[in-house]
Amino acid sequence: MLIGPASSSKERDLFRQRILRNPENYIAQPTLSLSTCPTFVEQGIAPRHIDLRPFVLSGRTVHLVPGGLTRVALRDGSLVVNSSQGGGTKDTWVLEE
């Protein structure tokens, strides 16, 4: 994974070579500005980037289910929230509808 705006010219060149060797293994997506949330880390409480994945039931009608999965970037300044790349999860509480 490469976060383009946060990468160096050398990192982009190396990643470009990897993509050219196996383009079917990669997808591109825009870099989003993620919210932050107080997160317990080794140093104490610190802001970390998060995203919320809502739960949606889709059939004849579509229903948004209370709650969801909040994914968190565990490294300071990171935008990588998926667990396979070093991210984690947080509890998501719905207090009102």
Phi/psi for 88 (5° steps) reads -145, -165
Determine the pLDDT at residue 97: 67
4, 13 in Cβ contact below 8 A? Answer: no
- Reduced to 3 states (helix: H, G, I; strand: E, B; else coil), residue 12 is helix
Tokens 């004849």 — which residue? 60
Mean pLDDT computed over every residue of the chain: 88
pLDDT, tens digit, 9 for 90 and up, residues 31-77: 888 899 999 988 999 999 999 988 899 999 999 888 888 999 998 98
72, 49 in Cβ contact below 8 A? Answer: yes
pTM of the model: 0.69
